[in-house]
Amino acid sequence: MKKRLFSILFPFFLVLMLSGCGSLGEKTSNLQLVFSSSYHLDLPVSFFQNTKIAKASDIILKFDDEAYVSFGIITRDLEGLDTSFDLLLYPEFILGVKAPHSVSERSKKKFIASYNVYKYRLGGFHIEKKEFNEVYIFLAKGDNQSVAFVVNKIEPSQVLVIDFNAVSDSRMETILKGLRHNAD
Amino acid sequence: MLTEKEKRDLYEIIEFTIGRDTSIQRNISSFNERTVLAVEEMLNEISRCNGSMKELIVNLVSGSSILAKGWLKRSLNEFNRMLKYKQAALNGYGCMVSVKSYWKNAIIVTTI
């Protein structure tokens, strides 16, 4: 039996919008997943074929090959960081690109411990920096797992954290290119 | 297949280590062997954030620093009891929230 096109769990937690995008006279239906007031994902409905969308701590997309990706929002308040902390530094500190400075001793320890966790979790990862649609993306790519930290270039007040588990490179790229900052 | 008691022990371990989470709580009835493995992996990783957790896990396996896969399933009840006893000494998670959120999602994924 064919799987349902979408299996949407906990629909009351999701904000989904279907939109028609005109292009050279052709119309394609897009689906927008809204993660916060700052970030959403905007991709053709066909991308979500045979995909489960679940609300957990964050929003999860589980694909039919068991690969999954989750989207979560981080704020200064949530991480116990000072209100003046520059969130553009968050990805660099947590991925060990820069030694954490301008934060409390407690936060410094947590950044360093978190970097050690990513080294363990992702294996020998490498970092790719990308820029799409007014956002900076810091992608730490491991063998089977990867994590992306997405920060708006101009006025970062939130970091979108995307964990990829067994997700193919092409699917990962499609997701990253489909990200939008809501000020767009 | 987990018994109701094992599912309850597993949830309590999750709550002690990463905090109360209603989305995980809603899925207790769907906990399974994959959930136990995910939580075991999470505990192994947390020991890199929190030295007290590492000590607790190593003590559980009789002083051995090598954790064989499946240790949690074999000692769900005992580990839960130890956590309850030592909870105050664990002193928080020890890593950033983005590291912790990963596990909340990974646990939910085992139930859908």
Distance (Å) of CA A132 to CA A21, A119, A150, B22 = 19, 26, 10, 34
- The pLDDT value recorded for residue A6 is 39
- The pLDDT value recorded for residue A102 is 85
When divided into structural domains, chain B yields a total of 1
Nearest to B95 among A10, A78, A113 (CB): A113
Phi/psi region, residue B19 (left: phi>0; alpha: psi -120 to 50; beta: rest), is left
Q: List CB contacts (< 8 A) between A166 and chain B.
A: none
Q: What is the CATH number of domain A6-181?
A: 3.40.1000
Is there a contact between B98 and A165 if contact means CB atoms under 8 Å apart? no
Angle between helices B51-60 and B33-46 (to 10 degrees): 130
The string of pLDDT tens digits covering residues B44-101 is 888 888 877 777 777 776 655 556 788 888 888 888 888 887 776 666 778 999 999 9
The string of pLDDT tens digits covering residues A84-115 is 999 999 999 999 999 998 899 999 999 999 99
A85 touches chain B (CB under 8 A): no
Is there a contact between B24 and A56 if contact means CB atoms under 8 Å apart? yes
Phi/psi region, residue B23 (left: phi>0; alpha: psi -120 to 50; beta: rest), is alpha
- The pLDDT value recorded for residue B109 is 94
> Is residue B4 classed exposed, middle or buried when 0-12, 13-18 and 19+ CB atoms within 10 A define those classes?
exposed
B108 touches chain A (CB under 8 A): yes
* pLDDT over 60 at A14, yes or no: no
Phi, psi of A169 (to 5 degrees): -60, -40
* pLDDT over 50 at B19, yes or no: yes
Name the A residues in 8-47 with CB < 8 Å from any B CB: 9-10
A110 touches chain B (CB under 8 A): yes
Nearest CA in chain A to B104: A57
Q: Could you tell me which residues are beta bridge partners of residue A41?
A: A33, A179
Structure-token match 């994590």, residue found: A147
Is there a contact between A60 and B95 if contact means CB atoms under 8 Å apart? no
Q: How many residues does chain B have?
A: 112
Give the residue from B101, B104, B107, B110 with the most A CB atoms within 10 Å of its CB, the best one to mutate.
Answer: B101
Q: List CB contacts (< 8 A) between B99 and chain A.
A: 114, 117-118
The domain of B51 spans 4-109
Is there a contact between A70 and B21 if contact means CB atoms under 8 Å apart? no
Handedness of CA B38, B40, B41, B42 (dihedral sign): positive
For the record, the structure tokens of B71 come out as 């240790």
The string of pLDDT tens digits covering residues B21-39 is 999 999 999 999 999 999 9
Nearest CA in chain B to A59: B105
- The pLDDT value recorded for residue A5 is 39
Cβ atoms of A120 and A102 closer than 8 Å:
no
Nearest to B101 among A10, A58, A120 (CB): A58
Instruction: Name the strand (E) or helix (H) holding B37.
Output: helix B33-46
Is there a contact between B94 and A113 if contact means CB atoms under 8 Å apart? yes
- Nearest one of B74, B55, B75 to B65, comparing CA atoms: B55
Give the residue from B41, B45, B97, B111 with the most A CB atoms within 10 Å of its CB, the best one to mutate.
Answer: B97
- What interface predicted TM-score (ipTM) does this complex get? 0.86
